[in-house]
């Protein structure tokens, strides 16, 4: 089925922890690397809580939960990645940060044909592949949030990716993890974000110009189009900083106005109103996000709704 038995993950935020969890649940030995002990501890706690919820809901047995936890090691030592067959980078949607990770993996991972994958949402894979000595082993494996729930993975080879790498990455995603794969060209945004992000940005512009409140924009799409989550609540879930980073990457590639981040989005990021992970974005939430390494935002997910809107309220009410 696949020769990938030992998996590495760099970053244990929302996406990295989810990727680590599904790999461990599939019986693979998993090492996750974080930047600091506190972030590593928070990441392991995030994985453990998710596995406990799966067991409580009957999706896993207690024995399966314990076995999965036992297969995961979270560390701050990147040398632990040396023996990995596949490593997935899942850090912030920032090209410089990702390049640093790939330079590290190129030095540390010993298996010459190890698959070096990126979970980037929008950065062209070729930019990461060209930075290492083994570009034929670099490929995009874009998971979606929450990783244990959503079945999709975008498979994104670059112009330099070898066909054996494509075959092995696809086999791992489908045969080991049980995911559905769509193959995308190595263009910013790939398939899903190339369609999704202009929609999210259009909703931001609508709130910015006062066409409707954030609450009503979201209700319009959930009640009128049967979307599981409105566009502004979804942007909050992904993280407004991540949405901005994806939009900037896509605008840099295509130079189309629909990809340009609206001024309101930039102001909210500057203000630290990043969405669910900070407790406030276009809506206000009851809990703040954790402090682990920032992760790639991934894709669409269904989540609990906000407590109240803060942008574009009706009757001239000002945001607080």
Q: Tell me the catalytic residues.
A: 121, 142, 154, 193
Pair 235, 204: CB distance under 8 Å? yes
- Coil, strand or helix at 133: coil
Residue 292: exposure state from Cβ atoms within 10 A (0-12, 13-18, ≥19): buried
- Which SS3 state, helix, strand or coil, does residue 95 take? helix
Angstrom distance (rounded) from CA 88 to CA 118: 5
Burial label for 85, CB within 10 Å (0-12, 13-18, 19+), is buried
Tokens of 108: 């540390």
Of the candidates 129, 198, 197, the residue with the CA atom closest to the CA atom of residue 160: 129
């Amino acid at each position: 089925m696949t020769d990938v038995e030992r998996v590495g993950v760099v970053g244990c935020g929302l996406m990295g922890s989810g990727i680590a969890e599904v790999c461990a649940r599939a019986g693979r030995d998993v090492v996750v690397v974080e930047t600091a002990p506190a972030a590593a501890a928070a990441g392991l706690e995030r994985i453990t809580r998710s596995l406990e919820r799966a067991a409580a809901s009957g999706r896993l047995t207690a024995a399966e939960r314990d076995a999965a936890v036992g297969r995961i090691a979270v560390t701050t030592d990147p040398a632990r990645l040396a023996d990995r067959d596949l490593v997935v980078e899942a850090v912030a949607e920032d090209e410089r940060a990702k390049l640093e990770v790939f330079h590290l993996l190129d030095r540390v991972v010993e298996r010459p044909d190890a698959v070096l994958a990126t979970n980037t949402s929008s950065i062209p894979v070729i930019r990461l592949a060209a930075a290492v000595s083994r570009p034929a082993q670099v490929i995009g494996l874009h998971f979606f949030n929450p990783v244990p729930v959503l079945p999709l993975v975008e498979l994104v080879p670059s112009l330099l990716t070898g066909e054996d790498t494509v075959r092995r990455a696809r086999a791992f995603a489908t045969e080991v993890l049980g995911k559905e794969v769509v193959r995308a060209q190595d263009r910013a945004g790939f398939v899903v974000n190339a369609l999704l992000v202009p929609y999210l940005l259009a909703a931001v512009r609508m709130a910015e110009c006062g066409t409707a409140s954030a609450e009503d924009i979201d209700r319009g799409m959930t009640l009128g189009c049967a979307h599981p989550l409105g566009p502004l609540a979804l942007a909050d879930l992904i993280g407004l900083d991540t949405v901005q980073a994806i939009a900037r990457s896509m605008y840099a590639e295509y130079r189309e106005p629909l990809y340009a981040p609206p001024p309101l989005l930039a102001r909210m990021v500057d203000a630290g109103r990043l969405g669910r992970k900070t407790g406030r974005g276009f809506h206000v939430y009851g809990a703040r996000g954790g402090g682990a390494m920032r992760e790639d935002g991934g894709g669409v997910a269904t989540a609990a709704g906000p407590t109240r809107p803060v942008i574009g309220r009706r009757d001239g009410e000002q945001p607080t």
